Amino acid sequence: MTREEILRADALTLGKLIKSGDLTSEQVTETFISAVKAEDGKYNSYITVSEDAVSEARQIDDKIMAGELTGPLAGVPVAVKDNICTKGMLTSCASKMLSNFIPPYDATVVKKLKAEGMVILGKTNMDEFAMGSTTETSFYGPTVNPRGTGRVPGGSSGGSAASVAADLAPVSLGSDTGGSIRQPASFCGVTGLKPTYGTVSRYGLVAFASSLDQIGPIGKTALDCAELYNAISGVDERDQSSTVSQKVDTKAVASFDVSGRKIGIPEEYFGEGIDEDVKARVMEAVKFYEDQGASVEKFKMPIIEYAIPTYYIIACAEACSNLSRYDGVKYGFRPEGVDNLMDLYIRSRSEGFGMEVKRRIMLGNFVLSSGYYDAYYNKALQAKALIKKAFDEAFEKYDVVIGPVAPTTALKAGESLSDPLKMYLGDICTVLINIIGLPAISVPCGNDRDGMPVGMQIIGKHYDEQTILGFAANYQRGV
């Protein structure tokens, strides 16, 4: 295989070739590491590149030879978002606050990747503390979308999506609190799965909004995402919200038949504010399913109107509490020359956090303050119950719900930094899913008039990763 063929291959293909002895993990890992070193200057998709990846790959090759590692992803390299703890490797959350934080332990998902025989290439760029939709708020500078110069890669897992799109990692892990796996996957033209809340351990994921955060895979294909999901999912006693989940039957995903399945299309996902090209591409993909015998029905989901305020109230409330631990005492950044404790708190937080993070902390404290708690936070919890009811009703009728991932394709760099509200509104199609913990996948479905990728979002019932991955794989088989 040539260098280019290795870089372009999907993870399962690399896994097969390593297993058969046609390639070694060392060869594959070396190829990716040297490509990252040579080419990532253009994209800035990595914050840290592993110094040990090639020697780790060599050890994995020995274990594969000895028959100790036999899984489909053994020997395959993977990139990990920089808010997931990696023992001995910087985990900065793209923040000055954690720019010196070297975790003494691995996140559960990282342990699981290693147990599978996967090799960690490095840590990927992101919006600071996963707050944002463009990867422009990173302390380490913005990531560039490999599919279009001058375009953002989406966020917050922009580095994880861009590294896969630029052939600088075969697969990666991202995290999704309100769309941060699906939206960058959509903007960069790759596939990203946000699993059901609780199926993948959050132990070692730096918390943003704990009731919404979920780790998931990004890859070139739905089948790669299915296999990586199987590798990282499972109950973990270290995460109290962790729940039992079925492993996905990847063979059934690969041969999934959509005939007789029922697709629901929320009209509001195709209404005002959604780009015409985005609507057209997603509806063409739906037609592809219809032509194979799936039934398609439009329905109304007016609760979508409350998606953004509900999400931002809950997310900011949880964030301000989670981020109170960064006080200059226990973790990360501490300024020089402080006189007293109050000064230490104030200066650590003022100098350590960026603008967007501060905005969220202020919003969160506001909605939780005694005078406003009922008006905002309690209202948001009521809206959450209504959102749950709307989806419960939809899933009585449909196997999956399909819509766009985002109202537009990748924005121009710099466009939304000056207008945070505009950026928040771009989350309209993704945030509902996190509020009630559903699984959803982002699948590339063609391009807009400027050649930028469009993403279709397939939403499933709780714990039904199997069906949404099946729909995604069926589409990728056919196009």
Candidate residues 15, 142, 179, 195; the one interacting with ligand GLN per rule CB under 6 A = 179
Angle between helices 11-19 and 222-232 (to 10 degrees): 70
Peptide bond into 255 cis (omega under 30): no
- Residue 149: phi and psi, rounded to 5, are -65, 140
Q: Which of 173, 135, 127 is nearest to 154 (CA)?
A: 135
- Asked if 131 touches ligand GLN (CB under 6 A), the answer is yes
Q: What is the pattern of x (binds ligand GLN, CB under 6 A) and - over residues 200-239?
A: --------x-------------------------------
**3-state percent breakdown (helix, strand, coil) of the chain, nearest 5:** 45, 15, 40
CA pair distance 224, 13, nearest whole angstrom? 9
Q: Are 168 and 46 in contact (CB under 8 A)?
A: yes
- Check residue 208 and report its DSSP letter: S
- Asked if 176 touches ligand GLN (CB under 6 A), the answer is yes
Is-catalytic flag, 81? Answer: yes
- Asked if 106 touches ligand GLN (CB under 6 A), the answer is no
Token pair of 231 as six digits: 């590798």
- Check residue 45 and report its DSSP letter: -
- Asked if 60 touches ligand GLN (CB under 6 A), the answer is no
- Asked if 128 touches ligand GLN (CB under 6 A), the answer is no
Is-catalytic flag, 156? Answer: yes
In the bound state with ligand GLN, the residue whose beta carbon lies nearer, of 370 and 418, is 418
Candidate residues 119, 315, 428, 454; the one interacting with ligand GLN per rule CB under 6 A = 315
Question: Longest C-alpha distance within the chain, in Å?
Answer: 71
Question: Which candidate in 25, 50, 81, 123 is catalytic?
Answer: 81
Token pair of 366 as six digits: 């506001």
Q: What is the pattern of x (binds ligand GLN, CB under 6 A) and - over residues 139-168?
A: -----------------x------------
Question: Which candidate in 180, 245, 348, 416 is catalytic?
Answer: 180
- The nearest distance, CB 256 to ligand GLN, in angstroms, is 27
- The nearest distance, CB 418 to ligand GLN, in angstroms, is 16
* Three-class SS state of 380: helix
- Check residue 376 and report its DSSP letter: I
CB under 6 A: which stretch of 128-136, 222-230, 247-255, 370-378 binds ligand GLN? 128-136
Is-catalytic flag, 255? Answer: no
- Asked if 427 touches ligand GLN (CB under 6 A), the answer is yes
CA pair distance 140, 40, nearest whole angstrom? 13
Candidate residues 44, 92, 135, 177; the one interacting with ligand GLN per rule CB under 6 A = 177
Peptide bond into 156 cis (omega under 30): yes
CB-nearest residue to ligand GLN: 180
Which residues carry out catalysis?
A: 81, 156, 180
Binding footprint of ligand GLN on the chain (CB under 6 A): 130-133, 156, 176-180, 208, 315, 427
